């Protein structure tokens, strides 16, 4: 028989208290679905993970595709014991320990899963995560006899002295697989909620002469399950605190960590300073010694070292070492900005390559184009990339100087070191080193104002 490390994650409940069309476990905490936080924490201990799904199963299976196996609980809503029974076939014929956790508890630490697992490996039939809290209302309570865990009693089923118990069940366990398989068929639903409670397994094991141990939480927040939007916001805040603490420990300065929003999959180099209101999203890598001034949203982008960004948005983009971006720049997908570039205010870049040392200082749109090195794009330059039907590409060679308010009607190629006069609308290629001017000549009408006034027209 194989000794397995397996985790069952319960995510079949309705999550009615969220009042949402989205399944509860797909709501995001720090930009990542709740259940993905659980899967990741569990993954450090168990490679094989089974999600028990029911309500909203299609969407959950789509979101977690490739991250877990799935078992359906049918019918849904018969309780946590029924959920685990639905997955019992995954355990048949296996020996060892199985982790069981709830898909709505994103804050349980990987170390906690490891501690639960090691207790069962020592020989306990079950290990459960518990905490002592002043107000355990709503939670199952841990009942002990002569100090030994003998049962969990749900809120609705508490009697007498049990109301005073402060030790609560977090709904995170590790079981010996054989012991669990022996106990599961014995569950009954003769309780306050007419559900099959997984928690009743504890008393069944105790009566069967097996020992159960508890593992205390490492951090109070670990026990926070998410049942409503208030708890969602609390979990968000705690996860944010953890993520930001990790970056600060690794040498990142945060002016106000409570107002800095960083998703789990982000890396930031040392000596980078992050100001409030920055939102760093999935897949983003920020280099060393950068300055992220207030309100930057950066998603799935790579930013080099010594880059300064202010009040700007970067999506699926790259910015090279020593460049400055913003304030108020919008760098859209598939843009690569080179080193020591200047991308100034109200500049929008899309699907373009910008060579090293190029300056695009203000009010410019570059779309679907290749701009060389040390180019100067003056204020108000527009790459006219869309003809109403197709997107067209243009290029500007190294060292070119494009004056203010120039339209480059794509597709058009501007040679290196070429000059384009301000206000030109360029529709034909400009050779290397040439000067292009494409605008109406200025004409002067002397004394025009006084003449008009005499005629009574002004």
The contact set with ligand UD1 (CB under 6 A) reads: 10-13, 52, 73, 76-80, 82-83, 102-104, 139-140, 152, 154, 168-171, 197-199, 225
Query: 77 or 423: whose CB is closer to ligand UD1?
Result: 77
Minimum distance from residue 140 beta carbon to ligand UD1 (Å):
2
Minimum distance from residue 289 beta carbon to ligand UD1 (Å):
43
| CB neighbour class for 111 (10 Å; exposed up to 12, middle 13-18, buried from 19) | middle
Token pair belonging to 375: 């180019």
Minimum distance from residue 72 beta carbon to Ca ion (Å):
20
Query: 102 or 381: whose CB is closer to ligand UD1?
Result: 102
Determine if 140 is a binding residue for Ca ion (CB under 5 A).
no
From the list ligand UD1, Ca ion, none, pick the one residue 347 interacts with, judged by a Cβ distance below 5 to 8 Å according to partner type. Answer: none
From the list Ca ion, ligand UD1, none, pick the one residue 323 interacts with, judged by a Cβ distance below 5 to 8 Å according to partner type. Answer: none
From the list ligand UD1, Ca ion, none, pick the one residue 261 interacts with, judged by a Cβ distance below 5 to 8 Å according to partner type. Answer: none
Bridge-based pairing state of the strands 32-33 and 28-29: antiparallel
Instruction: Tell which residue, 219, 244, 9, has the closest CA to residue 112.
Output: 219
Token pair belonging to 12: 């079949």
Determine the size of the site formed for Ca ion (CB under 5 A).
Answer: 1
Binding mask 220-249 for Ca ion (x = CB under 5 A): -----x------------------------
Q: Are 370 and 387 in contact (CB under 8 A)?
A: no
Binding mask 196-225 for Ca ion (x = CB under 5 A): -----------------------------x
From the list ligand UD1, Ca ion, none, pick the one residue 52 interacts with, judged by a Cβ distance below 5 to 8 Å according to partner type. Answer: ligand UD1
Minimum distance from residue 233 beta carbon to ligand UD1 (Å):
17
From the list ligand UD1, Ca ion, none, pick the one residue 403 interacts with, judged by a Cβ distance below 5 to 8 Å according to partner type. Answer: none
Distance CA 434, CA 428 (A): 13
* CA distances to 100, 228, 257, 412 from 225, in Å: 14, 9, 24, 58
User: How many other β-carbons are positioned within 10 Å of the β-carbon of residue 450?
Assistant: 10
Sign of the four-CA dihedral 437, 438, 439, 442? positive
Minimum distance from residue 27 beta carbon to ligand UD1 (Å):
12
Distance CA 246, CA 161 (A): 43
Query: 51 or 313: whose CB is closer to ligand UD1?
Result: 51
Distance CA 80, CA 201 (A): 11
Query: 82 or 374: whose CB is closer to ligand UD1?
Result: 82
DSSP state of 440: P
Minimum distance from residue 200 beta carbon to Ca ion (Å):
17
Mark whether 362 is an active-site residue.
yes
DSSP state of 428: S
Minimum distance from residue 75 beta carbon to ligand UD1 (Å):
9
Query: 152 or 371: whose CB is closer to ligand UD1?
Result: 152
From the list ligand UD1, Ca ion, none, pick the one residue 276 interacts with, judged by a Cβ distance below 5 to 8 Å according to partner type. Answer: none
Buried-exposed string 341-374: b where 16+ CB fall within 10 A, e elsewhere = bbbbbbbbbbbbbbbbbbbbebbbbbbbbbbbbb
Sign of the four-CA dihedral 253, 258, 260, 264? positive
Q: What are phi and psi of 431, to 5 degrees?
A: -70, 165
Query: 140 or 287: whose CB is closer to ligand UD1?
Result: 140
From the list ligand UD1, Ca ion, none, pick the one residue 222 interacts with, judged by a Cβ distance below 5 to 8 Å according to partner type. Answer: none
Query: 154 or 356: whose CB is closer to Ca ion?
Result: 154
Residues whose CB falls within 8 Å of the CB of residue 300, separated by 6 or more in sequence, listed in order: 281, 282, 283, 284, 315, 316
Q: Are 21 and 51 in contact (CB under 8 A)?
A: no
Q: Is 10 helix (H, G, I), strand (E, B) or coil?
A: strand
Query: 170 or 360: whose CB is closer to Ca ion?
Result: 170
Q: Which of 37, 82, 247, 362 is catalytic?
A: 362
From the list ligand UD1, Ca ion, none, pick the one residue 283 interacts with, judged by a Cβ distance below 5 to 8 Å according to partner type. Answer: none
Minimum distance from residue 202 beta carbon to ligand UD1 (Å):
10
The contact set with Ca ion (CB under 5 A) reads 225
Residues carrying an active site annotation = 362
């Amino acid at each position: 028989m194989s000794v397995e490390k397996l985790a069952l994650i319960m995510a079949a409940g309705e999550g009615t208290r969220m009042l949402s069309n989205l399944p509860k476990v797909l709501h995001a905490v720090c930009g990542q679905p709740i259940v993905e936080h659980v899967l990741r924490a569990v993954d450090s201990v168990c490679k094989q993970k089974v999600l028990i799904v029911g309500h909203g199963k299609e969407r959950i299976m789509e979101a977690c595709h490739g991250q877990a196996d799935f078992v359906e609980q049918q019918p849904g809503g018969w309780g946590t014991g029924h959920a685990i029974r639905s997955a019992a076939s995954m355990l048949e014929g296996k020996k060892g320990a199985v982790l069981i956790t709830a898909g709505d508890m994103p804050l349980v630490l990987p170390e906690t899963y490891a501690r639960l697992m090691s207790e069962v490996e020592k020989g306990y039939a079950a290990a459960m995560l518990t905490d002592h809290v002043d107000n355990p209302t709503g939670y199952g309570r841990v009942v002990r006899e002569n100090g030994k865990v003998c049962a969990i009693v749900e809120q609705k089923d508490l009697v007498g002295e049990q109301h005073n118990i402060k030790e609560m069940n977090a709904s995170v366990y590790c079981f010996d697989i054989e012991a669990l398989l022996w106990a599961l068929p014995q569950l009954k639903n003769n309780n306050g909620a007419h559900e099959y409670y997984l928690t009743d397994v504890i008393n069944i094991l105790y009566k069967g002469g097996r020992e159960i141990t508890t593992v205390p939480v490492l951090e109070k927040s670990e026990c926070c399950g998410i049942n409503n939007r208030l708890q969602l916001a609390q979990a968000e805040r705690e996860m944010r605190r953890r993520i930001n603490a990790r970056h600060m420990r690794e040498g990142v300065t945060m002016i106000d960590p409570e107002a800095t929003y960083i998703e789990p999959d982000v890396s930031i180099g040392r000596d980078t300073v992050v100001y409030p209101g920055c939102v760093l999203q999935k897949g983003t890598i920020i280099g060393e010694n950068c300055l992220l001034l207030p309100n930057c949203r950066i998603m799935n982008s790579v930013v080099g070292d010594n880059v300064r960004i202010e009040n700007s948005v970067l999506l699926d983009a790259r910015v090279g070492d020593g460049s400055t971006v913003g304030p108020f720049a919008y760098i859209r997908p598939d843009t690569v900005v080179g080193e020591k570039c200047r991308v100034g205010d109200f500049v929008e870049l899309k699907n373009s390559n910008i060579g090293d040392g190029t300056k695009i200082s203000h009010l410019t749109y570059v779309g679907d184009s290749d701009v060389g090195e040390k180019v100067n794009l003056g204020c108000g330059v527009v790459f006219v990339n869309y003809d109403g039907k197709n997107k067209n590409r243009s290029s500007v060679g190294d060292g070119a100087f494009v004056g203010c308010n120039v339209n480059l009607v794509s597709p058009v190629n501007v040679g290196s070191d070429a000059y384009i006069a301000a206000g030109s609308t360029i529709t034909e290629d400009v050779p290397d080193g040439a000067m292009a001017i494409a605008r109406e000549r200025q004409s002067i009408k002397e004394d025009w104002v006084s003449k008009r006034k005499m005629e009574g027209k002004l």
